[in-house]
Structure 1
Amino acid sequence: MTNGNARIWHVSDDLAARYAEGVLPEPDAWSLEKHVEGCGGCAATVSEAVRGTAAGTVLAQVRDAVLASMPPAQAAPAVRRSSPRRPRVPHRFARLLWAAGPAVRGAWLPAVLVVAAGALALAYGTGYPGARALLLAVAPVVPVAGVALSYGPHADPLHEVTAATPGGGLRLALTRTVAVLAVSLPLLTLTGLLLPASGAPAAAAWLLPGLALALGSLALASFVGCRTAALLTGGGWLLAVLGPVPAAPGGAAGARLAEQLSRCFDGVGAQSAWASAAVLSAVLVTARRPVYDRPLGR
């Protein structure tokens, strides 16, 4: 694997063959997959080794079927990209965005922007005083929805294949969860800071609850599937917070919602409970790790 330098190495034919046969130890397989992301020559070596296996034959048949169903204008570039010569490596940010999952590159991201813009319009366009409280009530559900849309058979056409690779399974699920949190947490927190307080909790008070619900949803997904888990965690949260609000008299709905959120968010006790829930969810996710190597239910 080395090339005269401990920091520079390339994939040998033997290493590529063992990877293609599925007998390479998992840490070495992870290292190989990370290396070929930026090394076109090694990517071609591994690709050639995989083509010689039974799985490579099946993948070649799938590729031919896909190309046969594509219009000629799209099929020609695809054929050129499949050349065994050194492939052109896309920009790292583009690869990272693609790996981040359907939630970040699909309809979820515009939905987050709509939630943020809607809260600002509600506060400064109509003068509604409870805009921050309403945003804080919805914000913890946003990462949950992103996690649900990022992983599972509905998110990846080749989910069964990717889940079985060393870079798939729980590793891929956590990568996409981090991408969802990295987008939603700062964006919605910044939006909360721009809204009038009007008795609502601090703009950052929802961060631990949002993290706990996202991890809880990911842990529950190992039992019931991503979308069902998101429905249970996100729906349960909205029901608990928004349920008592319609009973508020007159125009006191905003104040009642702010009061509900204060009970859930404010104080060391409440935040400690959310932190404990996040830790327990992370432990459960780790304990259930083998389950993520199989296709999760819907």
Structure 2
Amino acid sequence: MSTHLEHDWLVRYARGELDQARSFSVEAHLPACGDCRAAVAGLVDTTRMARTWDAIEDAIDVPPRTFVERALVRAGVGEPTARLLAVTPALRLSWLAAIAIVLTLAVVSARARGEEGVMVFLLVAPLLPLAGVAAAYGPLVDPAFELTLAAPLGSFRLLVLRALAVVAVTALIAAGAALALPGLDWTVAAWLLPSLGLTLAGLGLATSIGPAVSSLLVAGTWVFVVLGAWQASGDPLSAFGDAGQLTSLAVGVAGLAAVLARRDNFDIRSHE
């Protein structure tokens, strides 16, 4: 091009006030005209340019919100906390789908095998929140573990937030599955206290040996106790009676006491 753009066009273009058709003409002309480029460079609002560039960087660099994160934000959870919770492995849709499949199989077993099948459901259901908590935090299971250490939250608070979220979601799924058990009697709720007791016991042990190992130990002990009670009494549901419920409550209280007494150990172990 042998001509230059009108100065008024350049001023309005720099301010973002030029209409689309003329803006296209300006942008087609500038690459071939050094004088016009130099002229428009002196007219650009650097603050506006920096703001626009920041918006572009955010759109490119900041990952989009996941379904879980959007749901948490709508529920009133702050955006930073929602993002930390959303990267929890035990809150991924694949994990939740696996839980739903396991519970579905347990319900099918309960309907097909009577009390023995119900025992299978009651054996499995309390283990799922425990497994979710084990998969919620720690260098072995959390790909964002190093990033969470740099978050403005203590390890204990982060673990509690994630544990509460995992237990709430898992318990909701398990409660829905329990309603499909045959008979709709006391067994529908017989897994609740054991679930709470196992989860708190796992967290209590995690103050000493880490969440993954503590959860494995608690789960193994639970399976041993349930199967042992069945063999000793001949009743598949003997571990879920009054004595079993009270024991679960006592174990949960002991686990909670251990967590509160040794909460600082989570921060220490996170940096080992």
TM-score, reference length from structure 1: 0.59
Taking the aligned partners of 2:95 and 2:271, their CA distance within structure 1 comes to: 21
Of 106, 113, 129, 1:143 maps to 129
Corresponding residue for residue 291 of structure 1: 265
What are the superposed Cα offsets for residues 252-298 of structure 1, whole Å, 9 maximum, x if unpaired? xxx62122332554xxxx43x43343233223212222222244499
Taking the aligned partners of 2:106 and 2:237, their CA distance within structure 1 comes to: 15
Corresponding residue for residue 92 of structure 1: 70
Taking the aligned partners of 2:177 and 2:261, their CA distance within structure 1 comes to: 36
Q: Does the CA contact (< 8 Å) of 2:110 and 2:120 recur in 1?
A: no
| Cα shift at 1:237 | 0.4
Taking the aligned partners of 1:258 and 1:160, their CA distance within structure 2 comes to: 43
**Superposition pairs for residues 160-199 of structure 1, below 5 Å?**
160-197=146-183
Q: Does the CA contact (< 8 Å) of 2:103 and 2:125 recur in 1?
A: no
> Which amino acid letter does the alignment assign opposite residue 290 of structure 1?
D
| Cα shift at 1:232 | 0.7
Q: Does the CA contact (< 8 Å) of 2:106 and 2:124 recur in 1?
A: no
Corresponding residue for residue 118 of structure 1: 105
| Change over 3 Å in CA distance of 1:285–1:239 after alignment to 2 | same
Corresponding residue for residue 31 of structure 1: none
| Cα shift at 1:214 | 0.6
Q: Does the CA contact (< 8 Å) of 1:218 and 1:229 recur in 2?
A: yes
Corresponding residue for residue 240 of structure 1: 225
What's the secondary structure of 1:154's corresponding residue?
coil
What's the secondary structure of 2:179's corresponding residue?
helix
Corresponding residue for residue 261 of structure 1: 240
| Change over 3 Å in CA distance of 1:136–1:297 after alignment to 2 | farther
TM-score, reference length from structure 2: 0.64
Q: Does the CA contact (< 8 Å) of 1:153 and 1:295 recur in 2?
A: no
Q: CA RMSD in A?
A: 3.6
| Cα shift at 1:79 | 8.2
What are the superposed Cα offsets for residues 151-207 of structure 1, whole Å, 9 maximum, x if unpaired? 100232342442353324111111111112112222222322321249x85311221
Q: Percent identity?
A: 33
Taking the aligned partners of 2:135 and 2:230, their CA distance within structure 1 comes to: 29
Corresponding residue for residue 138 of structure 2: 152
Of 214, 230, 254, 2:199 maps to 214
What's the secondary structure of 2:140's corresponding residue?
coil
Q: Does the CA contact (< 8 Å) of 1:142 and 1:184 recur in 2?
A: yes
Structure 1: gaps spanning 5 or more residues: 1-47, 49-76, 249-254
> Which amino acid letter does the alignment assign opposite residue 195 of structure 2?
G
| Cα shift at 1:89 | 7.2
Q: Does the CA contact (< 8 Å) of 1:103 and 1:146 recur in 2?
A: yes
> Which amino acid letter does the alignment assign opposite residue 142 of structure 1?
L
What's the secondary structure of 1:256's corresponding residue?
coil
1:275 pairs with 2:262: no
Structure index of larger Rg:
2
Corresponding residue for residue 81 of structure 1: 60
Corresponding residue for residue 3 of structure 1: none
User: What is the aligned residue count?
Assistant: 208
Structure 2: gaps spanning 5 or more residues: 1-53, 74-81
| Cα shift at 1:239 | 0.8
- Whichever structure has more helix as a proportion of its residues is 2
Which of 1 and 2 has higher RCO (CA within 8 Å, sep 6+)? 1
